[in-house]
Amino acid sequence: MCSNFAAKDLLFRLSVDSMFGELSGEQAMPRYNSDKPFQIGEFWLSKRPKSDAWYRTWFDSEARQTRRISLGTSDFDEAKQALTDWFVLYHTKTEEAPEETTLAEVFARYYEQYGSKLRSHDNVQRYLRYWLDFHKTATVKEACALHRQQAYRDYLEHELGLGKNSIRQVLTIGKAALNWAWKRGEISSVPYIELVKVPTPPPKGRPLEVEEVATLIDAADYHLKAFILMMVSTTARNRAILDLTFDQIDFRNDLIDLNPKGREQTLKFRPKVKIPETLKPWLTRQREISQTGHVIEFKGAPVKSIRTAWRTLRQATDLDDAVQPYGLRHTMARWLRKSSVPAWEVAAQLGHKSPDVSTTEIYAPFDPSYLFKSTAAIDAFLTEVALHLRYTSISELMLAEIKAIEKQGDNWWFGGDLNSRPHDYESCALTS
């Protein structure tokens, strides 16, 4: 079945129109006869005896028999449209020249088979539409001509009012779709796509001092304390911590696999890191009280965002706007270098490496010396923070938090959003 985007959007309709407008001959043009009331390529519509449903039908030359798949409708016009949609999206082209392939065809298949499955699929859909709003039924070669590219960049800037960063994103998505088609052997080559240059963005949040991290933890509610500690302990990115489940933690070998099972590694590589010794007692207890299997949770549900909670915490501690969650990663990178951790080990801890992992590297985390110096440095940082908060270890602090919450009968707000926590008078009413 085709997605709503493919069936209804300008992108898909253009791909169908351009295909039948640009191509000719037996391969693509629909045909009609009494035995095959509608045919496109090697596929046609048919019905089974005593059935009103229409089927997509073709001859399997290897098995030497006719095969059918139901289109889920008894309406002839709907069946024709369904067959046409399917043919455009899934009829694989082979090494077609850029001057013979329409941009709309490539984009429709890219979105249906790949782009629609991405987390950012809404942006992918919008950016591909920008391409086709301008280029319409142009071939790949026509759309990628240098003068046409310049006109398109001017259109994005002046007609749509996009900034340089947004224009680069739009161009990158179109380029990715063309590369996808080339890698699959659908087009014979990929014309050059010129991207706009953008200034290097400033770091996401400044590094923090030990005292500032202690201040944040001291003022934070339980879920945010847990989030900050996991960010510091793993040097991971925000999303990796919010996604983290206890299934990813190997307590026997003291390992945290920041990349969940089934997630394909990207340029933002998620490595395996060691559990700092001072964190392990609390992390063990947190697993026991977890209701969802996530390390960071609230009211029996995983936490999807800490943006609002972080802003409230920063205001409560009178810290500047440059204090961002991502700054914790910068904080630990700087601390590791100050602690004389080798550059290659810092890179491994932060996940600054290629997604291509050799067989030897797969077993490296089980080596007792794996990330030994970086883990020791992280332990030292956590101890410094705990001492500022008048505890001997960070786990002692967190276990005391759990006991205090349990004693007050406030288990219901373990982790979660600061804005979800009732005011003091509401808490008293709930526990009285």
Name the pairing type of β-strands 249-250 and 55-60: unpaired
Predicted local confidence at residue 369, as pLDDT: 82
The pLDDT value given to residue 96: 87
DSSP at 155: I
Which residues in the chain land under pLDDT 50? 1-8, 10, 16, 18-30, 354-357, 359-360, 411-432
Q: How many CA atoms lie within 13 A of 345 on its CB side?
A: 20
**360, two tokens:** 């030897």
Burial class (CB in 10 A: 0-12, 13-18, 19+), 277: middle
Other C-beta atoms within 10 Å of 140: how many?
A: 25
Residue 315: both structure tokens together: 């205001």
Residues with Cβ within 8 Å of residue 114, at least 6 apart in sequence: 180
Count Cβ neighbours within 10 Å for each residue of 16-40 and write b for 16 or more, e otherwise: bebbeebeeeeeeeeeeeeeebbbb
pLDDT at 54: 94
Separation between Cα atoms, residue 243 and residue 138, nearest integer Å? 42
How far, in Å, CA of 138 to CA of 144, rounded?
9
pLDDT of residue 184: 86
Check if the beta carbon of residue 109 is closer than 8 Å to that of residue 89: yes
Alpha-carbon span 249 to 150, nearest angstrom: 50
The pLDDT, as a whole number, for residue 137 is 86
Res 168: pLDDT: 95
Phi, psi of 118 (to 5 degrees): -80, 155
Residue 10: per-residue pLDDT? 46
Q: Judge contact between 353 and 340, C-beta under 8 A.
A: no
Look at residues 115, 139, 117 and name the one whose alpha carbon lies nearest to residue 127: 115
Q: How far apart are CA 319 and CA 216, in angstroms?
A: 9
The alpha carbons of the chain give a radius of gyration, in whole angstroms, of 28
Find residue 43's DSSP bridge partners. 40
CA end-to-end span of the chain: 55
